[in-house]
Structure 1
Amino acid sequence: MTTTSERTLVNYTVTDGVAVIELTNPPANTYSHEMMRQLDEAILQARFDENVHVLLLRGSGEKFFCAGAEISMLNAVTPTFKYYFCLHANETLNRLEQTPKLVIAALNGHTVGGGLEIALACDIRIARRNAGKVGLPEINLGVLPGTGGTQRLARALPKNRAIELMTEGKLISFEEALDLSLINYIYDSEGYWDKVMEYAKSFCPPNKAARTVGRIKRSVQSGSEVAFSEALAIERELQQLCFQSEDAKEGLAAYVEKRKGNFSGR
């Protein structure tokens, strides 16, 4: 996908129900407003494609998932541009987080600053062993993590640990991040991408009721931000949509007939 400048900063491909969204801006896959607009477009494209059941984000190359915003760009633009740049980045990551399809981040390398903020907007994070560090070191630039970092990290960790990591500008290994539950899995480097793809495809038909996966995500994401009684109402409405689906009929019948469900994503 390209903009008027014809620079491709986000590659988008679909394989077996998985939309692979690759950030590509060597050497560190840092993002500009141009890249964020292409990422936004890719998210919308995956939303509307009924053949896409899972979104999978990765960085190009071996060393970086993403090292955040381009510092040289931020240093050159006006405060007004910075404000709208951050606003659009917030809106893009909110769109990613609220998309009712599972979103997996493949942390193939260093995931710092805005790169971690992108990863935090994903549902499941899978790192490559011994391949990098994570953290929000914006304090060293005299600014705060401004693409949702202060909010999502404080929801992912105990508040005191989130403040510690951000105010100290601490970078931690993937293994430490796993211990903190900031990431879900670490896969060995050998065969890493194949294993990540295999995992992503496990949520696609016929393996899983993909729309139900998306509704579980939507129930959690929407329900966690409202009162408990309202969250239960959201859950009930989404459950009713599941009850009306072909996959629910198949899943219930498969259980009664003692066989594996063959889901269609409908």
Structure 2
Amino acid sequence: MTPMKNGLVRYARDEHGVARIELTNPPANAYSYEMLRDLDDAILEARFDEKAHVILLTGAGEPPPPGAPPRTRFFCAGADIAMLGRVTTRFKYMFCLHANETMLRLEHTPKLVIAAIEGHCVGGGMEIAMSADLRVAARGTGKMGLPEVALGVLPGTGGTQRLSRLVGKARAIELMTEGTLIDFDRAQTLGLVNHVWEKDGFVDRALEYARGFCPPNKASLAVGHIKRAVQTGAEMALEQGLALERELQQRLFESDDAREGIAAYNEKRKPTFAGE
């Protein structure tokens, strides 16, 4: 994988069309302004890469020294608290604004984004994961939650807004005001996680899952447009959402994949999509 400018995020695209973005700031993958710059660059790299059909977000683990016990893994522990203790109030505001813009960039990218969570996913780390379209997690490797209330602040990079949209207002207020950390199976019952898999071979399974949304298996243009219709349309009134849906559908009708899909159905064969 290729490191971004500051070396805190790595990027690679495989031959199947999965663009993997990996947070690499051991031991907890806590994010700073520099990491957000790298993450922003990696998202743009995947967005403009015409051979990238799906984005997979992962957190790098730090292997223990020989003979040492296993380390606690983190997908991401959120913002670098030591950094926040050093900077000015104005910097903190700009930092939150930049984080908001970076996570919105994930939601606005017309490609499916999957967060593969192995290890603790807390605070800003969970806020990053919630900006993905789908979340899968490795059972027993960590917990997730938004415990910022213990610091006297609120989840300030999208947590209050995205969590309430995922689990409802009352449950979101409960989780954030109590600062509750929950395991991944509980997160799945609340709708925060789509799938929970065993930790052995987890990343390989996440990659295989992501490849299932790429050509020739799926029409990745349709997958991306479904994502955009939902992510943007959910914030609109029904009439405007339906108008957006029609426009996106028209773009798909003009695609090679739609022609292939309709022809394959009528000819009673399996379609072979090209992502075009």
Q: What TM-score comes out, normalization by structure 2 length?
A: 0.94
- Aligned equivalent of 2:165: 155
- Aligned equivalent of 1:168: 178
- Counterparts of 1:246 and 1:2, CA distance in 2: 34
- Aligned equivalent of 1:119: 129
- Aligned equivalent of 2:36: 36
- Counterparts of 1:109 and 1:166, CA distance in 2: 20
Does residue 108 (structure 1) correspond to residue 107 (structure 2)? The answer is no
Instruction: Report % sequence identity.
Output: 63
Which residues of structure 2 form unaligned runs of 5+? 63-72
SS in structure 2 at match of 1:260: coil
Is contact 2:135-2:195 (8 Å) kept?
Answer: yes
Amino acid at match of 2:162: R
- Aligned equivalent of 1:128: 138
- Aligned equivalent of 2:78: 68
SS in structure 2 at match of 1:11: strand
Alpha-carbon distance, 1:107 to partner: 0.3
Amino acid at match of 2:7: T
Alignment of 1:1-266 (within 5 A): 1-3=3-5, 7-15=6-14, 16-61=16-61, 63-266=73-276
SS in structure 1 at match of 2:96: helix
Amino acid at match of 1:194: D
Amino acid at match of 2:110: P
Amino acid at match of 2:203: W
SS in structure 1 at match of 2:182: strand
- Counterparts of 1:66 and 1:123, CA distance in 2: 17
Is contact 2:146-2:179 (8 Å) kept?
Answer: yes
Is contact 2:4-2:41 (8 Å) kept?
Answer: no
- Counterparts of 2:54 and 2:201, CA distance in 1: 20
Alpha-carbon distance, 1:60 to partner: 0.3
SS in structure 2 at match of 1:265: coil
- Aligned equivalent of 2:70: none
Aligned residues: 263
- Aligned equivalent of 2:66: none
Is contact 2:4-2:42 (8 Å) kept?
Answer: no
What stretches of structure 1 move > 6 A for 4+ residues in a row? none
- Counterparts of 1:179 and 1:38, CA distance in 2: 33
SS in structure 2 at match of 1:172: strand
Is contact 2:11-2:19 (8 Å) kept?
Answer: yes
Alpha-carbon distance, 1:258 to partner: 1.1
SS in structure 2 at match of 1:61: coil
